[in-house]
């Protein structure tokens, strides 16, 4: 953004929300060790991309002798089967399939010959975690390079066997075979048989450009889809171990509560029940889940709840009162306070303006509600701890476990089965620690599955926030000044993509009475809501067309393209069929390298409004799997509907008041309007991640449409006042 | 504790428990049938849906003391060996899931729905599946899968070549 200059060290730190910094980890490449575990064949190790190393503060470790940090590796065994090892986790975003497409494409191997070993800390190289829509832009190109390296090695071996001069003859790969133009071919397995070859990924091996993709770009079906429709897939909560017991935690139902009095005599008297007390930790272990649940219910606890905490109504003032001073560390190290981003002189611009607009937007806390609650199975054996658990940060959880039990990280193995969704809500490992604590006390493997109520009260939430926007326009309707202050909700997508000469944009970390953390799209949803609603308000007040008004302030062609696409598809500007009771709203935005524009059509309905239709244009560079992408975009839009229409955590004194699925409404079948999606495939651009950004414009598009029916409250969920 | 004789997937199991113990807990933790999922324990999300005499039922709020002689069918028994039920086929074909956690319950709910509504409208689908949550938001795809399965099952029934049993599956 050219118009914005930074004064001093005022750069806003990228928001991450991890609850702790990633650990340092150097993986020794021991060739013999690899082949001992994997058997013979060809092995290609992928060095950690420099960008990734810098991101996690590990840049200094690069190139340190023969032990480079590895991002992944790829093995072709003596039967030609390809196994890819990556620390990424599958949480429904379909990367088990899209990464296999990438590898298959570069290797010329059928997708059925490829399997991925994911997120098992004993088997895969370190990975900071699966978040930030980074798998596609970071991990996929690394695996592509590894696969391209392996392809070269296979071709080289075939050329040697055929005594072919590669300068004269072009050997190619297809369907797991190397092909000679004279018609001869040889299977990968024949080339890898009896071999122990190690490949080093070249700086820039020749990976295929998007116009030469064959597997990528195709709507390949989920590789293990059958396991899901048959119920055969084992999530963490489905895993059993010999002699396994079941645990339950007695948990405070308010954030910040401390233990008062406990009476666990009834539970202790139950047959087969062990009560585990350790500081404020109270848990039970029993032979089965029902007995554990009965024992936990039999324990009487009084919790001391801190006084004077704000409620869901008063929390917005609380944020302003508890604002962290600039430079101070916020509640999470990644939410550090920073100075504002400043361009021009907003005060002077405002003084010269024809009109000034001021609005304070309120963003409530919302819950992820992953359908699979937090769960863990822990087993101590021969001094080692193994934990199966659904998390987006297997190595982070391993580190948490090692530190909780004061053991070496090497003594902990975390295995993440493909998980029943997360949406940013499964970064931390408290449930893993709890299961391990119980297993340690019981001397047997223990399974712990949080109840839905525990998910609400014990998990973390998308932060609430207060966003004050002041904008000013000149007599010609150009935006002169833009002031944007966000308390607590976060800095993601806080900057404006619009061309405005005078700006002051600042994120203010504050105290949160509830546990908060990462959520799909982070604060980009809150910041887009405030920004786009403000754009909408100005356009309306100036009697300008909302699309034209935005276009007049947009230089970014990718943003212009999605906005134009959605305007066309939604028939923007054409009269509605029943214009009195129906209206169309629009919003656009960008985050994490992808672009989205959303149009919403609403109608008047008893008690408010009804969403009749959503139209979305989305662009994330070259599309790897169009059907998978469509699924992600549609899913993000549906999830966005929840926050736009009804999701909000109600609380007082640190206690959540609507922490059940009956009280906390998530989108259901009858809430879903027709959703039309246009995916813009930019084969000329690198692929960006897509799991998050499509969520950001749902609320402002609906808010804008509803505003045509009457005044709208500047808060989420969208309400007519 | 009393003992209950439960007919599950065409086999009779004797289960010890309190009358208020949930069927889901028995399925998952005693009978090693973890295909039915725990999502909320309130009967609000449908991840635990099984068939009780062919009718879609939330097993997390079904007390084992209230089942009597009714026959329970879980996702594990829906396919006929390697041959998937038409609803499973349709979910796979449309890829009507992301993380898949709601899928077993959703599939069972759809089997129950198609038994009483062989040609459901979108309104029927929304109404009858209202208490099945897909948090990944694949609802539009699920609607497509239901229609596809309905169409195929009607075609099979119409030809009269195969009988329909209590699971609604064609054999």
What confidence tens digit (pLDDT) does each residue in A108-121 have?
999 999 999 999 99
Give residue A61's pLDDT. 33
How far is it, in rounded angstroms, from Cα B56 to Cα B66? 15
- Tens of pLDDT, residue by residue over A641-672, are 999 999 999 999 899 999 999 999 999 999 99
Confirm if A352 and A344 have CB atoms less than 8 A apart: no
Give residue A62's pLDDT. 32
Higher pLDDT, B131 or A65: B131
How far is it, in rounded angstroms, from Cα B162 to Cα B33? 28
Contacts of A721 (CB under 8 A, 6+ apart): A710, A711, A712, A713
Contact list in A for residue B124 (CB cut-off 8 A) is: none
Q: How far apart are the first and last CA of chain A?
A: 36
- Residues A511-530, mean pLDDT to the nearest whole number: 95
- Token pair belonging to A230: 């048959």
Contact A672 B75 (CB under 8 A): no
How far is it, in rounded angstroms, from Cα A215 to Cα A624? 8
Distance from CA of A240 to the nearest CA of B (A): 9
How far is it, in rounded angstroms, from Cα B75 to Cα B9? 9
Give residue A58's pLDDT. 30
Cβ atoms within 10 Å of B63's Cβ, excluding its own: 14
Confirm if A566 and A617 have CB atoms less than 8 A apart: yes
Give residue A91's pLDDT. 95
Cβ atoms within 10 Å of A319's Cβ, excluding its own: 24
B interface test, pick of A94, A230, A519 with most B CB neighbours within 10 Å: A230
Residue A710 burial by CB count (10 A; 0-12/13-18/19+): exposed, middle or buried? exposed
Interface contact B83, partner A, CB < 8 A = no
Give residue A578's pLDDT. 54
- Token pair belonging to A434: 């709890």
CA dihedral sign, ordered A570, A572, A574, A577: positive
Contact list in A for residue B37 (CB cut-off 8 A) is: 235, 237, 371-372, 420
Give residue A337's pLDDT. 60
Contact B34 A661 (CB under 8 A): no
Q: Which residue's entry shows tokens 């308390």?
A: A487
Query: In terms of CA atoms, which chain A residue is nearest residue B86?
Result: A229
Query: In terms of CA atoms, which chain B residue is nearest residue A638?
Result: B137
Q: Give the C-alpha distances (Å, rounded to integers) separating A633 from A424, A514, A618, A638, B119.
A: 16, 29, 8, 9, 29
- Residues A129-144, mean pLDDT to the nearest whole number: 89
Contact list in B for residue A643 (CB cut-off 8 A) is: none
- Tens of pLDDT, residue by residue over A175-209, are 999 999 999 999 999 999 988 888 777 666 678 88
CA dihedral sign, ordered A660, A664, A668, A670: positive
Interface contact B84, partner A, CB < 8 A = yes
Distance from CA of A388 to the nearest CA of B (A): 16
Cβ atoms within 10 Å of A351's Cβ, excluding its own: 12
- Residues A572-586, mean pLDDT to the nearest whole number: 80
Contact list in B for residue A611 (CB cut-off 8 A) is: none
Confirm if A277 and A264 have CB atoms less than 8 A apart: yes
How far is it, in rounded angstroms, from Cα B103 to Cα A39? 37
Q: How much is the pTM?
A: 0.92
Give residue A39's pLDDT. 81
Give residue A687's pLDDT. 94
Give residue A474's pLDDT. 97
How far is it, in rounded angstroms, from Cα A361 to Cα A528? 11
Contact A634 B29 (CB under 8 A): no
Statement: residue A53 has pLDDT above 70? no
Give residue B166's pLDDT. 46
- Tens of pLDDT, residue by residue over A399-412, are 999 999 999 999 99
How far is it, in rounded angstroms, from Cα A88 to Cα A72? 10
Q: Where are the beta strands (DSSP E) in A142-280?
A: 172-174, 177-179, 185-187, 196-200, 245-250, 258-263, 274-278
Cβ atoms within 10 Å of A711's Cβ, excluding its own: 10
Distance from CA of A352 to the nearest CA of B (A): 47
B residues 43..62 contacting A (CB < 8 A): 44-45, 47
Statement: residue A30 has pLDDT above 50? yes
How far is it, in rounded angstroms, from Cα A530 to Cα A360? 8
Contact B129 A669 (CB under 8 A): yes
Of A720, A3, A618, A715, residue with least CA distance to A363: A715
DSSP structure class, residue A127? -
Contact list in B for residue A228 (CB cut-off 8 A) is: 97, 100, 103-104
DSSP structure class, residue B164? B
pLDDT level of residue A32 (50, 70, 90 thresholds)? low
- Token pair belonging to B148: 């596809």
- Residues A77-83, mean pLDDT to the nearest whole number: 94
Contacts of A167 (CB under 8 A, 6+ apart): none
Contact A288 B139 (CB under 8 A): no
Q: Give the C-alpha distances (Å, rounded to integers) separating B4 from B16, B21, B28, B35.
A: 6, 11, 16, 21
Query: In terms of CA atoms, which chain B residue is nearest residue A520?
Result: B136
Higher pLDDT, A32 or A163: A163
Contact list in A for residue B103 (CB cut-off 8 A) is: 228-229, 231
- Residues A126-155, mean pLDDT to the nearest whole number: 90
**Which ranges constitute the DSSP H helices of A429-551?**
430-442, 452-458, 524-541, 546-551
Query: In the β-sheet with A196-200, what is the strand arrangement from edge to edge?
Result: A114-118, A82-86, A70-76, A41-47, A196-200
How far is it, in rounded angstroms, from Cα A220 to Cα A677? 19
- Tens of pLDDT, residue by residue over A289-328, are 999 999 999 999 999 988 899 999 999 999 999 998 766 6
- Tens of pLDDT, residue by residue over A212-236, are 899 999 999 999 999 999 999 999 9
- Residues A423-433, mean pLDDT to the nearest whole number: 94
Give residue B144's pLDDT. 98
Q: Is B12 left (phi over 0), alpha (psi -120 to 50) or beta?
A: beta
Contact A93 B47 (CB under 8 A): no
Of A427, A449, A430, residue with least CA distance to A368: A427
Interface contact B165, partner A, CB < 8 A = no
Contact B38 A93 (CB under 8 A): no
Computed over every residue of chain A, the mean pLDDT equals: 89
Length in residues, chain B: 171
Question: Which residues in chain B come in under a pLDDT of 70?
Answer: 158-171
Interface contact B28, partner A, CB < 8 A = yes
């Amino acid at each position: 953004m050219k118009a914005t200059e930074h004064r001093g060290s005022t750069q806003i730190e990228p928001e991450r929300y991890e609850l702790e910094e990633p650990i340092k980890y150097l993986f020794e490449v021991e060739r013999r060790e690899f082949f001992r575990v994997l058997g013979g064949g060809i092995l290609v190790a992928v060095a950690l991309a420099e960008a990734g190393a810098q991101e996690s503060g590990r840049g200094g470790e690069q190139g340190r002798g023969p032990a480079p940090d590895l991002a992944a590796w790829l093995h072709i065994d003596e039967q030609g089967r390809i196994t890819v090892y990556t620390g990424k986790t599958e949480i429904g975003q379909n990367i088990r399939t899209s990464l296999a497409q990438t590898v298959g494409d570069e290797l010329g191997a059928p997708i059925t010959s490829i399997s991925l070993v994911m997120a098992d800390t004993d088997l895969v190289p370190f990975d900071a975690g699966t978040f930030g829509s980074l798998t596609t832009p970071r991990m996929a190109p690394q695996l592509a390079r590894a696969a391209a390296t392996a392809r070269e090695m296979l071709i080289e071996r075939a050329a040697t066997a055929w005594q072919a001069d590669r300068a004269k003859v072009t050997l190619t790969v297809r369907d797991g075979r190397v092909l000679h133009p004279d018609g001869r071919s040889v299977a990968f397995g024949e080339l890898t048989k009896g071999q122990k070859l190690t490949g080093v990924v070249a700086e820039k091996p020749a990976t295929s450009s998007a116009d030469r993709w064959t597997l990528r770009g195709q709507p390949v079906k989920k590789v293990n889809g059958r396991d899901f429709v048959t119920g055969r897939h084992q999530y963490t909560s489905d895993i059993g171990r010999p002699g396994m017991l079941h645990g339950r935690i007695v948990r405070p139902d308010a954030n910040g509560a401390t233990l008062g009095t406990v009476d666990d005599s009834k539970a202790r008297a139950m047959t087969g029940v062990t009560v585990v007390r350790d500081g404020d930790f109270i848990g039970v272990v029993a032979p089965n889940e029902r007995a554990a649940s009965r024992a936990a219910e039999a324990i009487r606890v009084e919790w001391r709840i801190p006084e004077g905490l704000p409620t869901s109504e008063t929390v917005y003032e609380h944020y302003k009162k508890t604002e962290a001073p600039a430079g101070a560390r916020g509640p999470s190290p990644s939410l550090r306070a920073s100075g504002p981003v400043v361009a021009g002189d907003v005060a002077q611009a405002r003084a010269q303006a024809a009109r000034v607009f001021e609005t304070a937007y309120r963003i409530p806390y919302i819950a992820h509600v992953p359908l699979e609650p937090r769960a863990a199975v822990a087993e101590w054996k021969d001094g080692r701890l193994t934990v199966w658990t659904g998390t987006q940060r297997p190595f982070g959880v391993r580190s948490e476990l090692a530190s909780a039990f004061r053991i070496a990280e090497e003594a902990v193995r975390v295995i993440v089965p493909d998980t029943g969704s997360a949406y940013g809500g499964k970064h931390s490992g408290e449930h893993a620690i709890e299961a391990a604590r119980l297993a340690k006390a019981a001397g047997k493997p223990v399974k712990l599955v949080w109840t839905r109520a525990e998910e609400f009260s014990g998990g973390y939430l998308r932060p609430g926030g207060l966003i004050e926007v002041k904008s000013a326009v000149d007599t010609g309707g150009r935006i002169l000044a833009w002031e944007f202050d966000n308390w607590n909700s976060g800095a993601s997508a806080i900057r404006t993509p619009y061309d405005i000469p005078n700006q002051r944009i600042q994120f203010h970390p504050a105290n949160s009475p509830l546990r908060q953390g990462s959520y799909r799209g982070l604060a980009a949803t809150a910041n887009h809501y405030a920004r786009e609603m403000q754009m909408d308000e100005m356009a309306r007040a100036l009697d300008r067309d909302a699309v034209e008004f935005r276009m007049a302030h947009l230089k970014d062609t990718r943003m212009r393209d999605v906005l134009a696409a959605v305007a066309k598809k939604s028939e923007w500007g054409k009269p509605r069929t029943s214009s009195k009771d129906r209206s169309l709203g629009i919003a656009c935005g960008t985050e994490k390298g992808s672009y989205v524009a959303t149009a919403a059509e609403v109608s008047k309905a008893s008690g408010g409004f009804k969403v009749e239709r959503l139209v979305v244009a989305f662009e994330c560079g070259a599309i790897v799997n169009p059907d998978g992408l469509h699924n992600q975009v549609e899913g993000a839009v549906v999830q966005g509907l929840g926050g736009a229409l009804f999701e909000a955590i109600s609380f007082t004194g640190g206690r959540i008041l609507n922490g059940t699925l009956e009280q906390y409404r998530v989108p259901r079948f009858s809430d879903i309007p027709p959703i039309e999606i246009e995916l813009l495939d930019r084969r000329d651009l690198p692929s960006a991640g897509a799991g998050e950004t499509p969520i950001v414009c749902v609320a402002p598009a609906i808010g804008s449409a509803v505003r045509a029916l009457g005044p709208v409250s500047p808060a989420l969920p969208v309400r007519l006042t | 504790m009393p003992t209950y004789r439960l007919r599950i997937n065409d086999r009779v199991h004797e289960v010890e428990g309190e009358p208020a113990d949930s069927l889901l807990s028995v399925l998952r933790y005693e009978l090693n049938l973890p295909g039915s999922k725990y999502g909320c324990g309130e009967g609000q999300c449908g991840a635990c849906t099984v068939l009780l005499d062919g009718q879609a039922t939330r097993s997390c709020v079904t007390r084992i003391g209230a089942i009597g002689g009714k026959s329970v069918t879980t996702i594990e028994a829906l396919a006929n060996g390697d041959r998937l039920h038409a609803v499973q086929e349709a979910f796979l074909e449309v890829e009507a899931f992301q993380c898949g956690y709601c899928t077993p319950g959703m599939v069972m709910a759809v089997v129950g729905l198609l038994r009483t509504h062989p040609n459901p409208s979108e309104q029927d689908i929304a109404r009858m599946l209202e208490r099945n949550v897909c948090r990944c938001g694949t609802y539009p795809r699920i609607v497509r899968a239901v229609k596809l399965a309905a169409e195929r099952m009607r075609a099979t029934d119409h030809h009269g070549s195969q009988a329909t049993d209590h699971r609604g599956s064609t054999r």
